[in-house]
Amino acid sequence: MRFELTTDQQDFAASLDSLLTAADAVGVARSWAAGDHAAGLKLWERLAEQGLTMLATEASPVEVCVAFEALGRHAVPGPWVESAAYLPVALGAEVEGVATVAVPPQTPYALDADVADQVYVAGPDGLHEAVVGDRLVSVDRTRRLFEVTPEASRLVAGAPRTSTTGPDAAYDLAVLATAAQLLGAGERVLADAVTYVKQRRQFGREIGSYQAVKHKLADVRIALDFARPLVYGAALASTGSTSERARAVSAAKVACADAAYLASRTGLQVHGAIGYTQEFDLSVWITKIRALVSAWGTPAEHRARILETLRSA
């Protein structure tokens, strides 16, 4: 089966790519990591005007994947998975402003709770407004994680009950959005690595001309190409049964995590010593990929989830 975007979806992807390229998303990410959120919040408003915060309720999961792949490709900071994927489904309405949520046990901390207008904690009885606690350190400096405590007396009225182990469409969409982010980040690292090996010369020739380097980059290309159909297949599986959706979404997350992590390791290797420096832009994607691999469920948790759905089939 071929998964090809429609003309409208391709135009949407192109418009997002153009917007984010012009916005200097890497510079925005670096400022966000340093605690300066002004540029990031301005970009948030522009993306919200493009309809990103209403995709989960007004469009299909395919459009959500298109958007989050672009966010990953440009390393856009902020609680986008929480505001544009999980919460719109959990609340049944588009989120106004910036919001974040913790969904224990897979997502125990709230991302960017210090800049969010609303902070929630999901539990078996639904969504609670939360009290923000201490900040924790993440390998990705743009991901600012906070401990949060639910206020038992402040249950969000009208929000459906949620469970990460049960039929939770909100959780599955958040996982799928994270997978799409990983796919976009992996594609960006591969593109930058290919560009670099065509420029870097050793022993009188470009390092990209060596078979060993070609093979490593080809392995990344294959891994990303195999992960992409799983993402869009999972987006289409959202209309199927709960077990089918959960299996498809978890498979996409595992494949994208593995492919993006391979891309980050290979990108770092072909760049050599410069790839380790914080000043070099490659570090923005390497650390983001490492953080997203375990965000919204680790690969081990999602493999176990796939096994469980197969056993119960």
Predicted confidence (pLDDT) per residue in 165-179, tens digit: 334 899 999 999 999
Residue 300: inside a domain: yes
Residue 248: inside a domain: yes
In the predicted model, what is the mean pLDDT of residues 44-64? 94
pLDDT of 167 reads 40
In three-state secondary structure terms, 100 is strand
**C-alpha–C-alpha distance, residues 223 and 116, integer Å:** 35
pLDDT > 80? residue 207:
no
Comparing C-alpha atoms, which of 151, 180, 166 is closest to residue 64? Answer: 180
The structure tokens listed for 301 are 């948790």
In the predicted model, what is the mean pLDDT of residues 37-46? 96
To the nearest whole number, what is the mean pLDDT of the chain?
Answer: 90
**C-alpha–C-alpha distance, residues 96 and 118, integer Å:** 9
**What is the separation, in whole angstroms, between the first and last Cα of the chain?**
23
At 274, which CATH number? 1.20.140.10
Q: Which domain holds residue 201?
A: 169-312
51-65, 143-157, 176-190: least confidently modelled range? 143-157
> Which ranges of the chain does DSSP label H, i.e. alpha helix?
7-22, 25-33, 38-49, 55-58, 61-73, 80-81, 87-91, 169-199, 211-236, 242-271, 282-294, 299-312
In three-state secondary structure terms, 211 is helix
The structure tokens listed for 178 are 């994270």
Q: Are 255 and 230 in contact (CB under 8 A)?
A: yes
In three-state secondary structure terms, 62 is helix
Comparing C-alpha atoms, which of 179, 185, 175 is closest to residue 75? Answer: 185
pLDDT of 165 reads 37
Residue 43: inside a domain: no
Other residues' Cβ atoms within 10 Å of the Cβ of residue 230: 24
pLDDT of 95 reads 92
In the predicted model, what is the mean pLDDT of residues 71-88? 96
Report residue 293's pLDDT band, with 50, 70 and 90 as the boundaries.
Answer: very high
Report the number of distinct structural domains present in the chain: 1
Residue 51: inside a domain: no
In the predicted model, what is the mean pLDDT of residues 260-264? 97
What residues form DSSP beta bridges with 131?
149
Residue 76: inside a domain: no
Residue 224: inside a domain: yes
Report residue 1's pLDDT band, with 50, 70 and 90 as the boundaries.
Answer: low
What residues form DSSP beta bridges with 149?
131
